[in-house]
Every structure is written in C-alpha cells, then in structure tokens.
Amino acid sequence: MITEELVEKCAQLAFEKKAQRVVSLDLRGISVVADYFLICTGSNSQQVKAICDHIEEKLKEENETSCLRIEGYEQGRWILMDYGSVIVHIFQEEERLYYNLERLWGDAPTTLYSVEGTK
C-alpha cells in the first residue's frame, strides 16, 4: 500500500469508529519523522482506544500492514500509532488542543477529511 493510500485508509477507518476532526498533515520535505501525520479526536478514552484497535485490526487483516509501535494506549488520552511513513495521532479533545500539532507543523499542507468521503 502506498503512503497516500495508507493515510486515506486510516482516515476512513477512524470515521468508522466515529472519530471527529480528521486531518492529515503532509510532512514530505518538511520532516524526516514521517511523510504524513493523521490526526483525529475521540470523545473519551474508550473511543480513542476503539479507534486505535479498529485501525490496527483492519489494516492488518485487509492489507497485511502492521503497526511498528503504539504508544499511550493504556491511558487512552493520546495514542500514537507508527506505521513508518504515516503516524496516526488519536487524541481526546483536551490533549489535541494542548499539543496543537496542526499549529506546531503549520507549514505542512493540511487535508480535512469528511465522513462522506476523504477530502
């Protein structure tokens, strides 16, 4: 799966678990950390964990794509899923506002996704 397809698939899977404010940041040429960040919000720790579980399970099952590591799962306030070229950040609202990755990486082109379809 190419990187652009992976970030769009992660966005679609996040919506399947009712994620809110799903955006991607295109970090190519800006950072060596990853090509894309996908950022979304869940309303509580159970939903944040459910989004994470769903993305992990479906990508492994449908695309044979494994997550390299997951951080923050136990607390469920901010979960980071590392897929190498794509890093998925699943926040509760308070943490998303506090860390404000969209502002921190403000030079990155941003794509806002919607439930009806990506972009």
- How far is Cα 44 from Cα 77, in angstroms, rounded to an integer? 8
Which fold, 3-106?
A: Beta Polymerase; domain 2 (3.30.460)
**pLDDT given at position 118:** 55
What pTM was computed for the model?
0.94
Expressed in angstroms, the distance from the first to the final Cα of the chain is 19
Structural tokens at position 63: 């695309």
Q: Where exactly are the structural domains of the chain? A: 3-106
pLDDT tens-place values along the chain, 119 residues long: 799 999 999 999 999 999 999 999 999 999 999 999 999 999 999 999 999 999 999 999 998 899 999 999 999 999 999 999 999 999 999 999 999 999 999 999 999 999 865 55
**pLDDT given at position 97:** 97
Neighbour tally for 83: CB within 10 Å: 24
Name the CA dihedral angle for 39, 44, 48, 53, rounded to a multiple of 10 degrees: -160
Phi first, then psi, for residue 91 (nearest 5°) are -110, 155
**pLDDT given at position 119:** 55
